[in-house]
Amino acid sequence: MAVEFEVNEREVWDGNYAASQAMRQADVDVMAAYPITPSTPIVENYGAYVANGYVDGEFVMVESEHAAMSACIGASAAGGRVATATSSQGFALMVETLYQASGMRLPIVLNVVNRALASPLNVRGDHADMYLGRDSGWIQFGAFNAQEAYDLALCAFKVAENHAVRLPVMIHQDGFITSHTAQNVYPLSNEDAIKFVGEIVPVDDMLDFSRPVTYGAQTEEDWHFEHKAKQHKALMDSMSIIDDVFAEFKKVSGREYKRVESYDMEDAEVCVIGLGTTVESARVAAKEMRKEGVKAGVVAIRCFRPFPYEEVREALRNCKSIAVTDRSSPGGAMGAFYNEVAAAMMTSQSRPLVTNYIYGLGGRDISIENLKTIFREQKANADAGYITTDIQQFTNLRGPKLGFCKTERN
């Protein structure tokens, strides 16, 4: 029996520590991990909890992130509650096995502390690794601060292990900005946390020798398509279960989460839609813009996969000009997030103006002033009735202004 680890009602934790506490409280059976900056403390702390008897789980040391996720796959198929953490290149090395995990419908929880992908080498945060996972068949939650990294980690187990879902879940937090920034965190008591997450009820666990099963079978053209279609449908259908889990979490914590969050959007004419910590900075900027008489609001994606097209459309319904912020190098296209929001709005009645801002790569700062400039440009667009700038622009980049693509106008 594990030794009780004392948590206070109010703690000052960084995102990594908060996530590791959620792993401890969720009573993870197996964590297989290969540490990488900036997510290292999550698995390091969990290892210490195991060594000090605060959890009954197993910590498996492996030789790479590929092996870490492979071990997680094995442990999850065996029927355990399984979690790990990674970032950046480690995430990239995991990619093959991410697809294996989701294809086998294994409810693994992965804490991703977002970090730029080399080259050039950089330990700081952007969303390149998060985007790399977006077609992998995992559910992806986004935390905007340390509290949310903790809360969403608890929710992740409950969603993943739900028998109607049976899909792996990632919780993303911004490298350093969340992972290494200490803020007030209000954790659940150990008792409430485990009561909320509940016990894992395995499905087709390989350790059930009376009922042998195969994982990761070969299908070729006969059945591959049907499997993938079913997996996609499971992802799309998980939305309502995610909503249920968030509702249940609100009951125990008082904190409310939605797959799409809206701030100051009731009468907003212009808005920034974003991911990660920038959402919160944008809220500060929107409040300041309102003092300048601009009806500004912020929309945020809590659940990046499955992508909430309908909720995004609903949230942006009355907006005239929208800035979609991508914190990942777009690699010869509009930002991926831009494309998704633009696709959602293309099928709306209002067809608002949608612009793309690339920002914050490799941890480059985004200040309240930077965000206010973005809001001001949206206001100019809304007043003019067309996009007055390049459709894609780079924010807070050194050197000459960089932008691409103009609106087609008669």
Task: Report the interface residues with other proteins, using CB under 8 A.
Answer: 10, 12, 123, 145, 174, 176-178, 180-184, 277-278, 280-281, 283-284, 365-369
Minimum CB distance to other proteins smaller for 184 or for 407: 184
In the block, tokens 């950046």 appear at: 88
Smallest gap from Cβ 133 to other proteins, in A, equals 22
| Beta carbons of 272 and 354 less than 8 angstroms apart | no
Which of 270, 268, 239 is CA-nearest to residue 167?
239
> How many Cα atoms are found within 13 Å in the side-chain-facing hemisphere of 306?
21
Q: Following CA atoms 333, 334, 340, 344 in sequence, which dihedral angle do they give, to the nearest 10 degrees?
A: -120
Residue number, 68 or 358, with CB nearest to other proteins:
358
- Rounded Cα distance between 325 and 86, Å, is 24
CB of 282 to other proteins, least distance (A): 9
**8 burial level (CB within 10 Å; 0-12, 13-18, 19+):** exposed
Shorter beta-carbon distance to other proteins: residue 12 or 213:
12
Between 38 and 107, whose beta carbon lies closer to other proteins?
Answer: 38
Nearer to other proteins, 398 or 409 (CB): 398
CB of residue 18 to other proteins, shortest distance in Å:
14
- Kindly tell me which of 111 and 277 has the beta carbon lying closer to other proteins: 277
Q: How far is the CB of 254 from other proteins (least distance, A)?
A: 14
Please say which residue, 186 or 404, places its beta carbon nearer to other proteins. Answer: 186
Closest to 80 in 3D by CA, of 63, 103, 60: 60
C-beta separation of 352 from 345 below 8 A: yes
Contact 146/205 with Cβ under 8 angstroms? no
DSSP 363: G
Residue (255 or 406) nearer to other proteins, CB = 255
C-alpha distances out from residue 62 to 70, 199, 348, Å: 10, 26, 48
Alpha-carbon span 248 to 278, nearest angstrom = 27
As to burial, measured by CB atoms within 10 angstroms (0-12 exposed, 13-18 middle, 19+ buried), residue 353 is: buried
Q: How many other C-beta atoms lie within 10 A of the C-beta of residue 398?
A: 6
For the bound state, the minimum distance from the C-beta of residue 223 to other proteins, rounded and expressed in Å, comes to 46
Judged by beta carbon, residue 172 or residue 320, the one nearer other proteins is 172
Angle, vertex CA 125, rays to CA 366 and CA 8, nearest 5: 95
What's the CA gap between 366 and 347, in Å, rounded? 31
Q: How far is the CB of 2 from other proteins (least distance, A)?
A: 20
Nearer to other proteins (CB atom), residue 239 or residue 368: 368
Q: How far is the CB of 4 from other proteins (least distance, A)?
A: 17
Q: Are strands 270-274 and 353-358 parallel, antiparallel or unpaired?
A: unpaired
- Are the C-beta atoms of 29 and 81 separated by less than 8 Å? yes
Q: How far is the CB of 293 from other proteins (least distance, A)?
A: 21
Least Cβ distance, residue 132 to other proteins (angstroms)? 23
Q: How far is CA 80 from the centre of its chain?
A: 23
* DSSP-derived 3-state class of residue 314: helix
| Minimum CB–partner distance for residue 281 and other proteins (Å) | 5
